Amino acid sequence: MSEKKCVLVSGGAGYIGSHVTVELLSAGYEVVVADNFSNCDRTNYEGVCAITGQRPPLEEIDCCDAKAVEGLFSRHKIDAAIHFAAFKAVGESVEEPLLYYRNNLTSFINILQAFANRGGGNVLFSSSATVYGEPDETPVTEQSPRKPATSPYGNTKQICEDILRDTVSACAGLRGIALRYFNPIGAHPSALIGELPRGIPNNLVPFITQTAAGVREVLSIFGNDYPTPDGTCLRDYIDVVDLARAHTCAVTRMFEGRMREDYEIFNVGTGRPLSVLELVRAFEKVNGLKLNYRFAPRRAGDVTAVWADPSLANRELGWKATRSVEETLSSAWAWEKHIRGI
């Protein structure tokens, strides 16, 4: 029998990383979780253990420390890495650009260097629909042009995609996939892992669930005068478990030698646009509650509408988003209640 493949999940104790760890373990892969706990606590790691009945090795390291990354690669035989260890707050990145460039680029370079030192490997990069900016046409395909980034955070996603592309082309044994996530929301159906934002949430769904829980008084809907059917922005909200499954499919594609090019890009979205107002109403309906919300001015930097054409991922990865927005929003609320003890 062939040996199990081992996948490093950097940032594996975070929101998306923990869901990906669950899916990888369930698919029979070995996982090494690396996290420096700079933006999360141990809740999700413990949740992963409870869900899977396994305790994947936890390496408490900072991926910006090249020696520590090298040490990790010498302790474990890593076949692939999925890189999540990055900062992700758009506004903070505008105030602290160097923090974002240093952290997001250095950690990724160190992981690529460790593979290059070993003659290659498989790397999955956690990219974002933010690279499309305000698209000229919707839905966006992987061929849609990338737009100049409007924040240092967005720029780090573009630069890391380019670093991966260039390193793959220079290193014969290295393969890379960038997954461009649309708007990941929701939580594991067990309610044992989910998003744990620190402070005031920037993203819509944690703000909604915190408002429903009474932690926030009122949800501000940023702008109702956009050129969309109900005046609020359109996004492609993708369930985090569906998103996590896309990673398992992509890693398996690499291991099975099914890539068409050594560097590939896939949109990971549902292909279904939803407005902020539609999302709020769906949340109220499925969870049987009323949300306190008001309309507020537009938020600087928001694009009007962006959603995915996910057909490339559907076809090539054999992956499709399956969870309904109702299931997802009920999982988001179940998670909020779980962490608040409601």
Catalytic residues: 153
Six token digits for residue 225: 């005068």
* 215 burial via Cβ count (<10 Å: 0-12, 13-18, 19+): middle
Start-to-end CA distance of the chain, whole Å, equals: 47
We find the least distance from the C-beta atom of residue 299 to ligand WQD, in angstroms, to be 5
Give the Å distances, CA to CA, from 145 to 77, 136, 158, 200.
Answer: 37, 9, 12, 33
We find the least distance from the C-beta atom of residue 105 to ligand WQD, in angstroms, to be 16
Nearer to ligand WQD, 183 or 209 (CB): 183
The reply to whether omega before 56 is within 30° of 0 (cis) is no
Residue 230, CB half-sphere, CA atoms under 13 Å: how many?
15
We find the least distance from the C-beta atom of residue 188 to ligand WQD, in angstroms, to be 18
Nearer to ligand WQD, 141 or 220 (CB): 220
Nearer to ligand WQD, 299 or 320 (CB): 299
Distance CA 194, CA 82 (A): 18
Distance CA 6, CA 25 (A): 10
Please give the backbone phi and psi of residue 123, each rounded to the nearest 5 degrees, phi first: -130, 130
We find the least distance from the C-beta atom of residue 77 to ligand WQD, in angstroms, to be 32
We find the least distance from the C-beta atom of residue 267 to ligand WQD, in angstroms, to be 13
Handedness of CA 328, 206, 10, 35 (dihedral sign): negative
Please give the backbone phi and psi of residue 5, each rounded to the nearest 5 degrees, phi first: -75, 145
Footprint of ligand WQD (CB under 6 A):
88, 90, 128, 130, 183, 202-204, 207, 219-222, 233, 235, 276, 299, 302
Nearer to ligand WQD, 51 or 313 (CB): 313
Residue 42 near residue 13 (C-beta atoms within 8 A) = yes
At 266, the amino acid letter reads F
By three-state DSSP, how is residue 239 classified? strand
Nearer to ligand WQD, 91 or 318 (CB): 91
Helix, strand, coil percentages (3-state) for the chain, rounded to 5, are 40, 15, 40
We find the least distance from the C-beta atom of residue 237 to ligand WQD, in angstroms, to be 8
**Which single residue brings its beta carbon nearest to ligand WQD?**
233
Nearer to ligand WQD, 235 or 253 (CB): 235
